[in-house]
Structure 1
Amino acid sequence: MRLRKKGWAKPELEKDYKVIFTPIEHKGRWKEVFGNNYPIHLELGCGRGRFINQLAGANTTINYLALDVYDELLVHVLRSANENHLNNIRVIPINIENIGDLFAQDEIEKLYINFCTPWPKKKHHKRRLTHPNFLRLYQTFLKPESEIWFKTDDDALFTDSLEYFQEAGYNELYRTYNLHQSDFQGNIMTEYEEKFCHQSIKIKFVKLRNSGHGLK
Structure 2
Amino acid sequence: MRLRNKPWADDFIKENHHITELSPLSHKGSWKDLFENHQPIHLEIGTGKGQFIANMAKQHPDINFIGMERVKNVIVGAIRKVDAAYVRNVRLINENAKDLRDFFAQNEIDQIYLNFSDPWPKNRHEKRRLTFHTFLEQYEDILRPDGEIVLKTDNQKFFEYSLVSFSQYGMKLEEVTLDLHAVEDPLNVMTEYEEKFSEKGQRIYRCRVRFS
State the TM-score, normalizing by the size of structure 2: 0.95
Structure 1 match to 2:29 = 28
Letter of the 1:138 counterpart = Y
Q: How far did 1:202 drift? A: 0.5
Q: How far did 1:81 drift? A: 1.7
Contact 1:64 1:90 in 2 (8 A): yes
State the TM-score, normalizing by the size of structure 1: 0.93
Q: How far did 1:4 drift? A: 2.6
Runs of 4+ off more than 6 Å = none
Contact 1:3 1:70 in 2 (8 A): no
State the SS of the aligned residue for 1:147. Answer: strand
Classify 1:44/1:193 alpha carbon distance in 2 versus 1 (closer, same or farther; 3 Å).
same
Q: How far did 1:129 drift? A: 0.4
Q: Distance in 1 between the 2:5 and 2:143 partners? A: 33
Bigger shift: residues 128-137 or 183-192: 183-192
Q: How far did 1:14 drift? A: 0.2
Q: How far did 1:8 drift? A: 1.2
Q: Tell me whether 1:8 sits opposite 2:8 in the alignment.
A: yes
State the SS of the aligned residue for 2:67. Answer: strand
Classify 1:101/1:2 alpha carbon distance in 2 versus 1 (closer, same or farther; 3 Å).
farther
Calculate the aligned-residue CA RMSD, in Å: 1.3
Q: Distance in 2 between the 1:140 and 1:90 partners? A: 21
5+ long unaligned stretches in structure 2: none
Bigger shift: residues 15-24 or 158-167: 15-24
Q: How far did 1:80 drift? A: 1.8
Structure 2 match to 1:112 = 113
User: Cα deviations across residues 71-118 of structure 1 (Å, max 9, x unaligned)?
Assistant: 222112222222222110001000111322110011000000000011
Letter of the 1:3 counterpart = L
